[in-house]
Structure 1
Amino acid sequence: MSMAAEGAASAAAGVAGKPAGPDPWLPRLGRIVSRRRDSRDAWTLEIREQIPQSASFRPGQFNMLTAFGIGEVPISLSGDPAAMDRLIHTIRPVGPVSTALAQMRPGAAIGLRGPFGSGWPLRQAVGGDVLVVAGGLGLAPLRPVLYALLAGRERYGRITLLYGSRSPDDVLFHREIVSWSRRQRIEVHVTVDHAASGWDGHVGVVTTLVPRAQCEPQRTVALVCGPEVMMRLTVAALHAHGIPHEAIYLSMERNMKCALGLCGRCQLQSVLVCRDGPVFRYDRVRGLFAHKEL
Structure 2
Amino acid sequence: MIAVNKPPRDSFKQRHHVAAFSVLEHFAQGLVHHARDHGGVLTEEQILKAVDSLRDQENLFDGAWSVLESDMESIKAREKAAVRHDPFGRLLVSRFEYLLEGGEAGDLEHGALSRSILQPFFKVIRMMVGMDMLQEIDGEIHAIIEAHADEDDELRDPTEYWDHLAKEPAVALRINLVFARMALHFKNYEHRKKWLMQLVNDNLPSGADNWTFTETHCILMLHALFRDVRETLSVPEHSAELVAKLGSENVATLRTVVKAIENDYAVLKKEG
Q: What is the TM-score with the length of structure 1 in the denominator?
A: 0.23
Structure index of larger Rg = 2
Greater per-residue strand proportion: 1
Higher relative contact order (CA 8 A, sep 6+): 1
Q: What is the TM-score with the length of structure 2 in the denominator?
A: 0.24
